[in-house]
């Protein structure tokens, strides 16, 4: 962020922009004069669009009440903390924050009040994500072990059926050996899908919009009668270091579900944006790419919601229940995470990918 902050040293600005706590500075008219990167992130706004706005418009809870408390604090020079304040962001998401306000002693600076906002559900989100990642790793390990155990005897069974087929005196009996061989092949293909690719990631600089557009094309070809697939891209996103084939596969699995859910007359939206100072699991990243895949379908059944990333969980007849488990695995390989929010009429899958990998 390139906000120039009157009266602040470069070190001060750098520290403020790398804090995970949202910091806002207001003047005596309660107009916003500064917001750090964590603040932009928390309130889902850009500094450019909110500088100069009134405190009540930014943290409406209800608006006049905040402004009254801030004015009181300016007059009495007393700090205060308001717990569990609900803030509705421009993207309509409601977050809960603890809000601490401290009157400053400005000397030739236009900053009269310092406001700190700390998201209360943030700790909960981090704990939930860590749980999701460890659960995913545990099931993945179990599946891999099981799949390997099945693969070897399965190869033996198939080979034996082939030998038997050649020796059978009556060709009419071959129908039975065919069934063994075909079913063994089907199981083999399922196990291969479960095990996922066993080659190393082919990391290269990837333009995420090429990946998303590719997925859009595949969905349009697979669902020619609709839904409509809309896009909302942030063109300024830098290239990420990733394996484009695997990213395509991951997004395709999610987008395909969204297209099924939305149906012919529905709408799927593909959105890209960048988040600053964002944690994935317990790791904080300076820049994170977020790809949203949204649909206006009926939503994920409540009883499935906690399990959709587990393998073999499906609410669709004909579904193998592997799509999301594979997508989560492929995104985890990029140190990212997929999360989901769903209500009838609006289901969003958020694919978080760090813009710099740890070994960069
Ligand atoms: N956008 C969505 N809207 C509603 N339900 C969804 C959505 N995405 C996933 N689901 C639910 O989650 C389940 C699991 O999805 P997943 O992609 O893992 O498996 P699947 O689609 O059933 O099978 P496949 O292996 O063919 O993808 C789905 O069966 C569906 O019930
Ligand atoms: Mg699927």
The average confidence (pLDDT) of the chain is 87
Mean per-residue pLDDT, 198-216:
92
* Alpha carbon of 21 to ligand 2 centroid (Å): 37
- What is the reported pTM? 0.70
Q: pLDDT at position 132, please?
A: 77
pLDDT digits (tens, 9 = 90+) for 171-181: 888 899 999 99
| Most confident stretch, 151-165, 243-257, 269-283 | 243-257
Does 297 sit in the ligand 1 pocket, CB within 6 Å? Answer: yes
The conformational region for residue 198 under phi > 0 = left, psi -120 to 50 = alpha, else beta, is: alpha
- What angle separates helix 174-195 from helix 121-167, to the nearest 10 degrees? 160
* Alpha carbon of 343 to ligand 1 centroid (Å): 15
Mean per-residue pLDDT, 123-136:
74
In the structure, what pLDDT confidence band is assigned to residue 122 with cuts at 50, 70 and 90? low
pLDDT digits (tens, 9 = 90+) for 75-111: 998 888 877 788 888 877 788 888 889 998 867 677 8
Strand positions, DSSP E, the chain: 22-26, 32-35, 80-88, 94-103, 113-119, 204-206, 228-232, 240-242, 267-280, 283-295, 337-343, 346-354
Does 315 sit in the ligand 1 pocket, CB within 6 Å? Answer: yes
Question: Cα separation of 24 and 83, whole Å?
Answer: 17
Q: pLDDT at position 105, please?
A: 80
**HSE-CB for 265 with a 13 A CA cutoff:** 2
Does 250 sit in the ligand 1 pocket, CB within 6 Å? Answer: no
For ligand 1, mutation pick of 308, 325, 342, 350 (most atoms within 8 Å of CB): 308
* Alpha carbon of 215 to ligand 2 centroid (Å): 14
Looking at residue 17, the DSSP 8-state letter turns out to be H
For ligand 1, mutation pick of 310, 324, 338, 351 (most atoms within 8 Å of CB): 324
Q: pLDDT at position 204, please?
A: 93
Out of 21-25, 154-158, 199-203, 208-212, pick the least confident.
199-203
Q: pLDDT at position 61, please?
A: 62
Residue nearest to atom 9 of ligand 1 (CA): 257
Query: Looking at the predicted structure, is the pLDDT value of residue 141 above 90?
Result: no
Q: Which residue did the predictor score with more confidence, 66 or 210? A: 210
Query: Looking at the predicted structure, is the pLDDT value of residue 146 above 50?
Result: yes
Does 347 sit in the ligand 1 pocket, CB within 6 Å? Answer: yes
Ligand nearest to the CA of 327: 1
* Alpha carbon of 160 to ligand 2 centroid (Å): 34
Query: Looking at the predicted structure, is the pLDDT value of residue 185 above 50?
Result: yes
Does 293 sit in the ligand 1 pocket, CB within 6 Å? Answer: no
Number of residues assigned to the chain: 360
């Amino acid at each position: 962020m390139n906000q120039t902050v009157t009266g602040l040293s470069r070190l001060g600005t750098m520290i403020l922009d790398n804090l995970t706590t949202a910091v806002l500075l207001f003047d005596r008219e309660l107009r916003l004069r500064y917001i750090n990167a964590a603040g932009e992130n928390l309130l889902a706004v850009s500094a450019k669009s909110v500088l100069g706005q009134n405190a009540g418009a930014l943290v409406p809870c209800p608006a006049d009440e905040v402004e009254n408390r801030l004015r009181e604090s300016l007059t009495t020079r007393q700090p205060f903390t308001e717990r569990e304040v609900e803030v509705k962001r421009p993207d309509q998401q409601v977050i809960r924050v603890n809000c601490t306000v401290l009157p400053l002693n400005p000397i030739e600076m236009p900053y009269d009040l310092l406001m700190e906002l700390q998201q209360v559900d943030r700790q909960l989100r981090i704990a939930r994500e860590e749980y999701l990642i460890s659960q995913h790793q545990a099931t993945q390990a179990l599946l891999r072990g099981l799949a390997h155990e099945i693969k070897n005897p399965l190869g033996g069974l198939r080979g034996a059926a082939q030998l038997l087929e050649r020796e059978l005196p009556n060709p009419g009996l071959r129908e039975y050996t065919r069934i063994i061989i075909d079913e063994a092949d089907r199981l083999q293909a399922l196990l291969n899908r479960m095990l996922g690719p066993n080659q190393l990631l082919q990391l290269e600089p990837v333009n995420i919009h090429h990946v998303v557009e590719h997925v859009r094309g595949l969905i349009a070809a697979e669902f020619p009668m609709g839904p409509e697939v809309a896009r909302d891209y942030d063109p300024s996103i830098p290239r990420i270091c990733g394996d484009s084939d695997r990213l395509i596969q991951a997004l395709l699995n999610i987008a395909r579900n969204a297209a099924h859910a939305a149906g012919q007359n529905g709408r799927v939206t593909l959105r890209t944006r960048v988040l600053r100072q964002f944690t994935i699991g317990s790791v904080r990243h300076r820049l994170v790419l977020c790809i949203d895949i949204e649909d206006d379908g009926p939503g994920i059944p409540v009883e499935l919601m906690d399990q959709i990333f587990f393998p073999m969980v499906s609410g669709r007849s004909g579904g193998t229940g592997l799509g999301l488990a594979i997508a989560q695995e492929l995104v985890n390989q990029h140190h990212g995470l997929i999360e989901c929010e769903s209500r009838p009429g609006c289901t969003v899958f958020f694919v978080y990918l760090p813009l710099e990998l740890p070994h960069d």
